[in-house]
Structure 1
Amino acid sequence: MRFWPVLGVALSLMANAVLAADYQDSKDAEKLIEEMVQEHQYDPEVLKRVFNSAARQQSILDAIARPAERTKTWHEYRQIFVTPRRTKAGLAFWQEHEESLARAEQEYGVPAEIIVAIIGVETFYGKHRGKYRVVDALSTLGFDYEPRKKFFRKQLKEFLLLSREQQFDPLDLTGSYAGAMGFPQFIPSSFRAYAVDFDQDGQIDIWNNPVDAIGSVANYFRRHGWKQGDPVVTRARVSGQQYADGVSDNLKPGQALSQLQSLGWEPLELPTSDDKVRGIKLQGEHGSEFWVGMHNLYVITRYNHSTLYAMAVFQLSEELKDAMPRQ
């Protein structure tokens, strides 16, 4: 990661301006520049150079149209993320950063295995952090991806603010096709809200510093309501004619456990509180699987709004916990 003074950023933008011009005459880019000048007192010339360099990437539009969370069954999705190879690498990551993970667990109340599993699912512990320039990804999606232009346009503005606040070169940062960055794959708004300088070296660096990434993930979960010591999800048996009425596609738990039980659901582990729960049906390797999701599973879906994602994180965390030698 390079940290640039304001003059250095301006000079870098000038040097890169000739590399692309997909948004040089874009009305959307012009409007965003006007808003950033009015709302955040940005230098318009600096922003013009950014968008003169930003490149539209068709591969980004193709990738976002077919996310694994919407195109795969649970069995297929699980095979990608819950594997011996990922568990082995996660164990090595945990052992290397055991002190930082223990401190994060103590300060934020989030289990070390959940933090490691998030980083493992997101980037294979930092090995796959994304190769797209973030400015290209967010410009492409913010100006040319009709289904979610509003969301990504907001992230583009957050990214520009983040670059100025941290004195990063906005043309230098890389990430995923959706503009997610670093070990934990934070989108810009998440970085600005939840990223922390966990090693207290004066810089927040989730790109190259796994300690900052660990603290940032833990802070994200605490801020989204993780309940220390509570279960996440449990398998269930179902019976009778009404169990299908207990299946919910709503990520947020909205049923009393007694209501689910009255429909023929028998969780193998009971919740430790009176929080609402959620009945889940997944297509597993050997047929239908039934699960009862609790509050902490919902917290995991705040990171990625997908039941499959949350289940993969949880099951990988269980594999890691079982593999980690405890003192």
Structure 2
Amino acid sequence: MMKWVTPWLALAGACALVPVAVADDYRQSPQVAEFVAEMTRDYGFAGEQLIELFAQVERKQAILDAISRPAEKAKPWKDYRPIFITDKRISQGVAFWKQHEATLARAEAEYGVPPQVIVAIIGVETFYGGNTGSWRVMDALSTLAFDYPPRAPFFRKELREFLLLTREEQVEPLSMTGSYAGAMGLPQFMPSSFRAYAVDFDGDGHINIWNNPVDAIGSVASYFKRHGWQPGQLVASAANLKGAQAEQGLTVGLDPVKNVGELRKLGWTSAEPLADDLPVTAFRLEGTDGAEYWIGLPNFFVITRYNRSVMYAMAVNQLAEALVDTRGVK
């Protein structure tokens, strides 16, 4: 549970009352000293309070083990899809939609993002808030910023953003939890995304994406709008291929480097009528019945900005479609 406090006041006193079990980890770290100096010089933090804060921060070997573990072989679509498109996730998504129907309708009116897409994002990310992560964000980001060299610059930036948001939102840094990588709340925002896109959708003066679905819903809608979501447009269209050159149309990476007209010349046809000048992503998935070919439209690319994975975007899109079909709305 987040605890609202006057920002950074009495922090040093509160820290002094807590035994420092891991002082040698970060309070005496040259990297932390440099970081504290940056935060005091560039952002006006009190150095002594930050030092006392880091005295309570714990280096987590389990986080380093998790992020350093060799990536498992990527699951094919036929195995990935059943993880997210399940009866339970659909039924609980419909229940979440009904419970927050007015908020979702307002988010669509203000940002143009349909309810099913917002619900699907929260459903894929945290099972509608059921699994938001139990790591202290300060521990996670500090461990990765100061003890994981391959991505230290990224996580150091996120640690800076996190401290700024705790000051802005008037919350105790050590009270906030998230994933082992520092992603937070129902929508799993990194701190930089929180500061850039999260919104106080219930108007209470604070942005709480941890246990306030209203702010979480508005924040997802805000993120999508800021990344170019096009209201009323499709996400993806099934495609058929014909001819020896058709496979040349497949996109390398995620950015749309071809348009529909160029794909047509290579032998692609789409299930829906699409304008020739529309920039798209073309991809193949290994489905249960063999290869599936899809054309990802601009809204598909927006979803990949949330998580840079074709299969993630497809899971969100198909969960959203299943929610609409189950609820019986358009």
Q: TM-score, structure 2 length as denominator?
A: 0.94
Asked if residue 75 in structure 1 is aligned to residue 69 in structure 2, the reply is no
Q: Which residue of 2 aligns with 1:295?
A: 298
Asked if residue 138 in structure 1 is aligned to residue 128 in structure 2, the reply is no
8 Å CA contact 1:117–1:316 kept in 2: the answer is: yes
Given the alignment, which residue of 254, 268, 275 partners 1:265? 268
- Equivalent AA in structure 1 for residue 287 of structure 2: G
Deviations 1:176-207 (A, max 9, x none): 11101111111111111111111112221111
| Alignment partners' CA distance in 1, 2:199 and 2:68 | 32
Offset of residue 64 of structure 1: 2.7
| Alignment partners' CA distance in 2, 1:221 and 1:305 | 14
Offset of residue 286 of structure 1: 2.5
- Equivalent AA in structure 1 for residue 5 of structure 2: W
| Alignment partners' CA distance in 2, 1:258 and 1:325 | 34
1:9-88, aligned counterparts within 5 Å?
9-16=11-18, 18-21=20-23, 22-65=25-68, 71-88=74-91
Q: Which residue of 1 aligns with 2:5?
A: 4
Asked if residue 274 in structure 1 is aligned to residue 277 in structure 2, the reply is yes
Offset of residue 248 of structure 1: 1.1
Q: What SS does the aligned partner of 1:18 have?
A: coil
| Alignment partners' CA distance in 1, 2:298 and 2:81 | 21
8 Å CA contact 2:4–2:171 kept in 1: the answer is: yes
Offset of residue 23 of structure 1: 1.6
8 Å CA contact 1:57–1:140 kept in 2: the answer is: yes
Range 221-230 or range 243-252, more displaced: 243-252
| Alignment partners' CA distance in 1, 2:130 and 2:243 | 47
Q: Which residue of 2 aligns with 1:185?
A: 188
Q: Which residue of 2 aligns with 1:94?
A: 97
Change (3 A) 1:89 1:19: farther
- Equivalent AA in structure 2 for residue 289 of structure 1: E
| Alignment partners' CA distance in 1, 2:230 and 2:149 | 37
| Alignment partners' CA distance in 1, 2:268 and 2:326 | 31
Offset of residue 17 of structure 1: 5.8
Offset of residue 166 of structure 1: 1.1
Structure 1 residue runs of 4+, over 6 Å off?
67-70
Deviations 1:219-257 (A, max 9, x none): 110011101111111111112212221111321211011
Deviations 1:40-63 (A, max 9, x none): 011111111222221122222233
Offset of residue 282 of structure 1: 1.4
8 Å CA contact 2:259–2:276 kept in 1: the answer is: no
Q: Which residue of 2 aligns with 1:105?
A: 108
Offset of residue 212 of structure 1: 0.7
Q: What SS does the aligned partner of 1:11 have?
A: helix
Q: Which residue of 2 aligns with 1:235?
A: 238
Gaps of 5+ in 1: none
Change (3 A) 1:159 1:307: same
1:158-173, aligned counterparts within 5 Å?
158-173=161-176
How many equivalent residue pairs?
327
Range 260-269 or range 179-188, more displaced: 260-269
Change (3 A) 1:285 1:20: farther
8 Å CA contact 2:284–2:292 kept in 1: the answer is: yes
Q: What SS does the aligned partner of 1:171 have?
A: helix
Q: What SS does the aligned partner of 2:282 have?
A: strand
8 Å CA contact 1:69–1:306 kept in 2: the answer is: no
Deviations 1:31-87 (A, max 9, x none): 111110110011111111222221122222233345989732222221211111101
| Alignment partners' CA distance in 2, 1:208 and 1:11 | 28
| Alignment partners' CA distance in 1, 2:32 and 2:105 | 45
- Equivalent AA in structure 2 for residue 118 of structure 1: I
Change (3 A) 1:118 1:16: farther
8 Å CA contact 2:11–2:53 kept in 1: the answer is: no
Change (3 A) 1:63 1:287: farther
| Alignment partners' CA distance in 1, 2:68 and 2:271 | 37
| Alignment partners' CA distance in 1, 2:69 and 2:232 | 36
- Equivalent AA in structure 1 for residue 12 of structure 2: A
- Equivalent AA in structure 1 for residue 207 of structure 2: I
| Alignment partners' CA distance in 2, 1:30 and 1:238 | 58
Gaps of 5+ in 2: none
Identity, in percent, stands at 53
Offset of residue 150 of structure 1: 1.0
Range 18-27 or range 137-146, more displaced: 18-27
Deviations 1:246-276 (A, max 9, x none): 1113212110111111212111123368321
| Alignment partners' CA distance in 1, 2:195 and 2:326 | 34
